[in-house]
Amino acid sequence: MKLHLPISLLALTAQFASAASITFEGRSDLASEASFNLTEIGTADWAYWDTNANPAASGAATNDMNGGFGIGSISNFGTGTSLRGTSAAAVDTVFAYSNGSSDVSGTENGVTGLFATVLATSNEGVQLDITLADAGQAYEINIWTGAYATQSGSIVASMNGATSYVSGNTGGAGDSGWYGDSSTPREPYLYTFNVIADNPNEVFNFSITTAGSQNSSSHVLIAAAAVAAVPEPGSYALLAGFCMLGFVMMRRR
């Protein structure tokens, strides 16, 4: 006996399962020497950038998860054509890991991160692409950033089929801006997103750019990133409800 669910119910199921979305979970202003275990946070992939190079640097990660999938290279956002690191730690965040590809395990007490060679200029910064393997799967994406002598700026998170997250060009505390004083290490911030793609291998793009500066060296940077697949309790509950409804209808027939 064939089971016939209402067309509206089937349409709702398909839409729910495939809807792309970007949810901004929050921005954390990190305390000095805040510690994170990348292996635990980035179960799908993680990476950090510690070039110890001044001024030239590649956008490839210094170290990443062995066997990880998703995190690409940092690239310029704006008119710049090259990236740079710094000769000392840019942020004093502590990253620990135990499943790396270049160094298998270790602890990084501060990393240089990467920023654009064009400094103290509006709409100049860096971006990072992260490929999401599975459609309909929720991913938690964490990106560690830094700001130096920066009054205000903009964060944009985008992906095909999803409404982009765009922060306002405002400084100070809050979700829509940051403030970096003229001190070293730079002030670190952690941005967290919950992302669902509606196609396999969809690309999530994160960019951070400067909108206001304090001196000739003002800039923003990306220091590390981590990706983890997470369950969606609401999704499971709804799908379970659909299955139960189908079972009841079949029993009645």
pLDDT at 37: 98
CA distances from 135 to 4, 41, 46, 198 (A): 26, 21, 20, 5
pLDDT at 170: 44
Write down the pTM of the prediction: 0.83
Q: What is the DSSP letter of 9?
A: H
pLDDT tens-digit profile, the chain (253 residues): 444 444 344 334 444 445 899 999 998 888 889 999 999 999 999 999 998 776 678 899 999 999 999 999 999 999 988 999 988 889 999 999 999 999 999 999 999 999 999 999 999 999 999 999 999 999 999 999 998 988 888 899 999 999 999 986 544 444 445 667 788 888 889 999 999 999 999 999 999 998 888 888 999 999 999 999 998 655 444 444 544 544 444 455 4
* Dist. CA 138–CA 161, nearest whole Å: 15
| Exposure letters 133-171 (e unless 16+ CB within 10 A, then b) | beebbbbbbbbbbbbbbbbbbbbbbbbeebeebebebbb
Work out whether strand 150-159 and strand 187-196 pair parallel, antiparallel, or are unpaired. unpaired
Tell me the backbone φ, ψ of residue 246, rounded to 5 degrees. Answer: -60, -40
State the angle between helix axes of 7-18 and 233-252 in degrees (0 to 180), rounded to the nearest 10: 160
